[in-house]
Amino acid sequence: MIGVESGWSAFGCHRAATRGPTARMEIMDELRNLAWKFQEAIETMATSTGSLQDRLWQAWVSHLASLDDRGFPDDLRDEWLMLRDVVTAKEAIGTGSKYQATCQAMSDEEAHDVAELTVRLAGKLRRASQEQSAQ
């Protein structure tokens, strides 16, 4: 039986030590799910109404807030954690969320930068998913 490490070494993953075809399929499924969630977030940012801050908040709350850090490839996890920390920097106000408080406090330039980083990470996840599927 070939271990997952042989096909996953370029990416790393919390399941990389698991061996067998089932683990490889789980990794591929996780990557596809992450790429899909990010694509949905991009579509929300592009098609929703409101300020960029509002669209960014909606994208994160609707598609990215519930993602599990452990599902990210090792080489992208730090980037994900940094991005998530940026959009949760402010404390929640009233019944709102950290995402809402943080996005609403962003300048237009800050919101643009976060949206750009989100799109870039989406592209990296999509490429990782495609490369893993090709193996």
Give which of 5, 7, 6 is closest to 15, Cα–Cα.
5
**Is the pTM of the predicted complex or chain greater than 0.85?**
no
Report CA-CA distances (Å) from 79 to 4, 34, 97. 23, 14, 22
pLDDT in tens, 71-98: 899 999 999 999 999 999 999 999 889 9
pLDDT in tens, 20-68: 666 666 777 888 999 999 999 999 999 999 999 999 999 999 999 999 9
Burial letters 6-22, b for 16+ CB under 10 A, else e: ebbeebebbbbebeeee
Domain boundaries, the chain: 5-134
Q: Which residue is associated with the tokens 């930068």?
A: 113
Tell me phi and psi for residue 107, to 5 degrees: -75, 170
